[in-house]
């Protein structure tokens, strides 16, 4: 087994909703780890906390309560640092029977500490492809300037001309047409898919050890998507790149991920090797994972123009949580034997096979 | 385009012999639609949009600008209650077509006839009215949602742009809209930041429905959403289309969704429509080599694999292509031993009718 490059333990990221006067538990006690050179995929419906988890790792959560506890260990050259080290001194949480009563936080102290922890790491050791490329790019700076600035900052290159040449190479690698011309474009002159590829080029240009890719291929058509997937595969070999891949596209997960974490309502509900989680013959899988996979339309259904199978109901808001399983309302697999338990107690993470974990009473 | 004599209304009442329309630079439109124009809601004729691009610092020395022909002579029509899917690679000009139709940007050339009215000749007040009948769902989830406004106020604003309603009517309409897009009333007090992706998309759809449009241009309405929410949004769009008798121009890169939802599909390549026809035909009996590549990349089981033979090159507006713009990537071109028709500068294949409502722009269509 190669070493773990990132280990997230009991991460909790909560927000406060002023309109509802309540706490939102976007990420609620999440733990996972990524080994060097591995691709870990996080899947789940929108709103389940995937992006917030990713932003937490990069120290990008600045609002309100934000990250309130947990550890994020980053290992590099045999040295391990905790990216949340000492932050708990700036926040405290008061709960009563699982309900959050109060979170108090010294925001400025927190931010200062967080910035000093992330210095030299964000954008260099860990870089991120954001879900919304249009808002992640600066509209007033040309694409070439944005990428070359990042290259100069993170790769220690002094000459602007050299940095521009590297930027152009990266644009070519992500299949941007006429890269030398596009360097002088502002983001608004690019199509949605092009902005996304520019983001990818920028994130990769610093040749990070860990790449967090939040929906890197959504909005791209099949041909370019395939190219991006191929590019990521290739970089993984060339640069020993480790990837935390967040996506709802099962095809991308199938092609890239080694292990998968399925998230629901701020929790990881299933975690294990891709081949076990995605294998439809697999002995046991989480009802949510099954529902998620079922909502991908088959070719036959498309031909027959059938109504798509959505998972009935909405993702729970993580404000009002009941005692039981978070998927209870929407779960179609709960049977009479366990129904009562499902409603009354939340299942713990149970190991059901080597390295395969699941949070469901069915696994008992 | 200055023919002037043929006004849209005349055109409509004029079957069975539709007049030939002259193109702006003297070219004659290659095809016109089958007679029954009566329920055509949108007619796009020889639409062009060129973006000019000053390439680099020293381009002014060369005294030339590169041209990006983002939309290059595009024609299609859309009937009432019909869904036309528009597919093609990223950057091929889909969004630009949508924006041109709504006149969010000015065309370089070409005509857009909506509901019998030529958009070019409309007075300001008329344009305003027409605008309320066409709406766009933007690719970017956040584009239409002001982050400082609550859902309720976003909807209220949209409802009252074109209609003067009292407090009671507005609230009734808000409730109706929330119901139509399956959103819980409790979300009315939320700011966009407090919504999930799927909820944002549904608020975006409610906002568009608020002005009671006839035509909706949906630009990648599901691409930012995950599968299960995608299914919800697609089901919703289909239901609304049936219930309210809407027409959609459905722009997407997801071929499966396009096939599922559309009656007709137009395939774009580098600013031009290369094939158009009924969705089943396009998906299962494509005639243009590019369409064939697109759909064959979807194999049973849902895996997307690019067919091994496909030569994949960077598709490039800068590098001039002579003749058919697809030839550098075309398998047929290669297998036929580089026929000269395909690289003849004077003879770029034009979109021509080749079967019932099936149009292809290729010298050697697949049969
Ligand atoms: N304001 C602009 N200035 C210059 N070029 C532009 C502008 N808007 C679009 N373009 C160019 O026009 C071409 C088509 O862009 P468009 O946004 O229509 O693509 P698209 O087909 O919608 O792609 P995607 O699927 O990636 O959204 C691209 O090459 C783009 O860079
Ligand atoms: N800055 C914020 N303030 C309040 N709530 C937030 C904030 N950012 C995210 N959330 C909430 O956290 C939840 C998870 O969001 P996110 O991680 O973006 O979901 P996804 O899994 O789709 O990436 C959502 O309910 C969202 O509304
Ligand atoms: S614990 Fe019960 S309700 Fe929850 S997923 Fe398992 S079977 Fe369904
Ligand atoms: S005209 Fe020639 S090059 Fe173009 S698509 Fe047809 S066969 Fe291929
Ligand atoms: Mg997200
Ligand atoms: Mg677009």
CB-proximal residues (5 Å) to ion ligand 5: A 51, 131
Beta-ladder partners of A58: none
ipTM: 0.72
The confidence score (pLDDT) of residue A174 equals 83
The confidence score (pLDDT) of residue A277 equals 87
Q: Which residues line ligand 4 (CB under 6 A)?
A: B 289, 324, 326-327, 330, 332-333, 342, 349, 362-364
Beta-ladder partners of A240: none
The confidence score (pLDDT) of residue A283 equals 67
The confidence score (pLDDT) of residue B19 equals 35
| Domains in chain B, number | 1
The confidence score (pLDDT) of residue B13 equals 30
Judge whether B106 lies within some domain: yes
The confidence score (pLDDT) of residue B303 equals 41
The confidence score (pLDDT) of residue B317 equals 52
Residue A263 CA: nearest ligand 2 atom is 21
The band of B302, judged by pLDDT with boundaries at 50, 70 and 90, is very low
Tokens of A356: 């395969």
The CATH number of the domain covering residues in A4-125+211-318: 3.40.50.300
Domain containing B98 equals 16-52+66-133+213-286
DSSP A4-70: EEEEEEEEEEEEEETTTTEEEEEEEEEEEEEETT-EEEEE--TTSSHHHHHHHHTT---SSSEEEEE
Residue to mutate, A132, A175, A190, ligand 1, most ligand atoms under 8 Å from C-beta:
A190
Judge whether B128 lies within some domain: yes
Which comes out higher in pLDDT, residue B30 or A16? A16
The answer, yes or no, to whether any atom of ligand 3 lies below 6 A from the CB of A265, is no
Query: CB distance A226–B297 less than 8 Å?
Result: yes
A contact residues 49-88, partner B, Cβ 8 Å cutoff: none
Spell out which residues of chain B touch residue A135, defining contact as CB-CB under 8 Å: 142
Spell out which residues of chain A touch residue B231, defining contact as CB-CB under 8 Å: 295, 297, 308-310
Give B46-98 pLDDT, tens digit per residue: 999 998 765 555 444 544 557 788 899 999 999 999 999 999 887 889 999 99
Domain locations along chain A: 4-125+211-318, 134-207
Q: Which of B118, B110, B121, B76 is nearest to B1 (CA)?
A: B110
Q: Which residues line ligand 1 (CB under 6 A)?
A: A 188-194; B 51, 68, 70, 88, 90-96, 139, 253, 317
Distance from CA of A297 to the nearest CA of B (A): 8
Give B139-193 pLDDT, tens digit per residue: 777 878 899 999 999 999 999 988 888 999 999 999 999 988 888 888 899 899 8
Report the chain A residue with the minimal C-alpha distance to residue B57: A184
Report the chain A residue with the minimal C-alpha distance to residue B52: A189
The confidence score (pLDDT) of residue B2 equals 35
Judge whether B342 lies within some domain: no
Beta-ladder partners of A28: A12
Spell out which residues of chain A touch residue B198, defining contact as CB-CB under 8 Å: 45-47, 315
Asked whether residue B23 carries a pLDDT value surpassing 50, the answer given is no
Task: Give yes or no for a contact between B69 and B271, defined as CB atoms under 8 angstroms apart.
Answer: yes
Spell out which residues of chain A touch residue B142, defining contact as CB-CB under 8 Å: 132, 135
Residue B253 CA: nearest ligand 1 atom is 25
The confidence score (pLDDT) of residue B24 equals 35
Q: What is the pLDDT along chain A (364 residues), one digit of tens a residue?
A: 468 999 999 999 988 877 777 888 889 999 999 999 999 999 988 778 898 999 999 988 877 777 778 999 999 888 899 998 888 888 887 877 777 778 788 888 888 888 888 888 998 899 998 877 777 888 899 999 999 999 998 888 889 999 999 999 999 888 787 788 889 889 888 887 788 889 989 999 988 999 999 888 876 777 677 777 888 888 888 878 899 999 877 778 888 999 999 999 899 999 999 988 887 777 688 999 998 888 777 777 888 888 877 777 767 776 766 788 999 988 999 999 999 999 999 999 999 888 899 999 998 8
Judge whether B367 lies within some domain: no
Judge whether B23 lies within some domain: yes
Judge whether B217 lies within some domain: yes
The answer, yes or no, to whether any atom of ligand 3 lies below 6 A from the CB of A90, is no
The confidence score (pLDDT) of residue B8 equals 30
CATH number at residue B257: 3.40.50.300
Which comes out higher in pLDDT, residue B288 or B144? B288
The band of B295, judged by pLDDT with boundaries at 50, 70 and 90, is confident
Give B245-265 pLDDT, tens digit per residue: 999 999 988 888 899 999 999
Ligand 5 centre and the CA of B362: distance in Å? Answer: 41
The confidence score (pLDDT) of residue A133 equals 74
> Residue B360, exposed/middle/buried by CB under 10 A (0-12, 13-18, 19+)?
buried
Judge whether B310 lies within some domain: no
The confidence score (pLDDT) of residue B30 equals 41
Residue A61 CA: nearest ligand 2 atom is 1
Judge whether B231 lies within some domain: yes
Which comes out higher in pLDDT, residue B235 or A97? B235
């Amino acid at each position: 087994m190669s070493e773990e490059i990132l280990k997230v333990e009991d991460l909790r990221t909560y927000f406060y909703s002023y309109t509802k006067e309540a706490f939102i538990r976007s990420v609620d006690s999440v733990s996972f780890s990524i080994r060097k050179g591995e691709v870990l995929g996080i899947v789940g419906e929108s709103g389940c906390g995937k992006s917030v988890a990713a932003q937490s790792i990069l120290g990008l959560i600045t609002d309100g309560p934000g990250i309130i506890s947990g550890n994020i260990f980053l290992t590099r050259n045999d040295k391990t640092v905790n990216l949340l080290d000492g932050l708990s001194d700036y926040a405290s949480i008061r709960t009563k029977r699982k309900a959050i009563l109060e979170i108090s936080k010294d925001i400025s102290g927190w931010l200062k500490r967080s910035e000093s922890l992330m210095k030299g790491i964000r954008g260099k050791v860990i870089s991120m492809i954001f879900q919304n490329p249009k808002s992640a790019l600066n509209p007033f700076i040309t694409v070439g300037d944005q990428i070359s600035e990042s290259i100069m900052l993170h790769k220690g290159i002094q000459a602007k001309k050299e940095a521009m040449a590297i930027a152009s190479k990266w644009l070519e690698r992500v299949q941007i047409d006429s890269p030398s011309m596009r360097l002088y474009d502002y983001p608004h002159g690019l199509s949605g898919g092009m902005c996304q590829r520019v983001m990818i080029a920028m994130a990769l240009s610093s040749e990070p050890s860990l790449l967090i890719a939040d929906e890197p291929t959504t909005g791209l058509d099949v041909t370019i998507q395939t190219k991006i997937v191929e590019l990521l595969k290739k970089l993984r070999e060339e640069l020993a790149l480790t990837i935390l891949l967040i996506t709802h596209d099962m095809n991308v997960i199938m092609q890239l991920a080694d292990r998968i974490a399925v998230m629901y309502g701020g929790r990881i509900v299933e975690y294990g090797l891709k081949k076990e989680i995605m294998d439809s013959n697999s002995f046991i899988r989480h009802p949510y994972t099954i529902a998620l996979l079922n909502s991908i339309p088959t070719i036959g259904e498309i031909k027959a123009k059938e109504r798509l199978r959505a998972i009935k109901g909405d993702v729970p808001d993580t404000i009002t949580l009941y005692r039981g399983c978070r998927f209870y309302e929407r779960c179609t697999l709960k049977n009479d034997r366990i129904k009562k338990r499902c409603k009354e107690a939340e299942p713990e993470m149970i190991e059901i096979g080597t390295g395969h974990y699941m949070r469901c009473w069915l696994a008992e | 385009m200055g023919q002037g004599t043929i006004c849209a209304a005349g055109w409509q009442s004029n079957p069975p012999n539709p007049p030939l329309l002259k193109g702006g630079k003297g070219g004659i439109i290659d095809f016109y639609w089958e007679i029954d124009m009566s329920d055509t809601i949108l007619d796009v004729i020889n639409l062009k949009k060129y973006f000019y691009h000053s390439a680099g610092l020293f381009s002014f020395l060369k005294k030339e600008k590169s041209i990006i022909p983002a939309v290059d002579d595009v024609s299609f029509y859309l009937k009432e209650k019909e869904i036309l899917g528009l597919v093609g690679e990223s950057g091929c000009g889909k969004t630009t077509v949508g924006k041109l139709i709504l006149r969010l940007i000015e065309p370089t050339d070409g005509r857009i006839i909506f509901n019998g009215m030529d958009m070019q000749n409309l007075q300001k007040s008329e344009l305003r009215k027409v605008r309320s009948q066409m709406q766009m769902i933007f690719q970017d989830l956040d584009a239409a949602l002001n982050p400082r406004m609550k859902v309720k106020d976003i909807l209220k604003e949209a409802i009252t742009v074109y209609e003067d309603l009292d407090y009671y009517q507005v609230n009734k309409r808000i409730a109706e809209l929330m119901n139509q897009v399956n959103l819980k009333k409790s979300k009315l007090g939320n700011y966009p930041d407090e919504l999930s992706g799927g909820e944002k998309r549904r608020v975006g759809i409610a906002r568009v429905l608020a002005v009671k449009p006839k035509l909706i241009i949906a630009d990648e309405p599901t691409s930012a959403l995950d599968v299960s929410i995608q299914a919800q949004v697609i089901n919703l769009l289909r239901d609304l289309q049936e219930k309210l008798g809407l027409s959609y121009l459905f722009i997407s890169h997801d071929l499966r969704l396009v096939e599922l939802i559309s009656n007709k599909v137009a395939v774009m390549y580098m600013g031009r429509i290369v094939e158009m026809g009924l969705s089943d035909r396009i998906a299962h009996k494509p005639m243009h080599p590019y369409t064939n590549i697109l759909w064959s990349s979807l194999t049973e089981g849902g895996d997307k694999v690019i067919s091994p033979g496909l030569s994949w090159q960077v598709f490039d507006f800068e590098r001039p292509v002579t003749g058919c713009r697809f030839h550098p990537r075309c398998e047929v071109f290669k297998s036929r031993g580089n026929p000269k028709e395909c690289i003849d500068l004077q003879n770029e294949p034009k979109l021509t009718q080749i079967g019932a409502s099936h149009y292809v722009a290729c010298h050697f269509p697949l049969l």
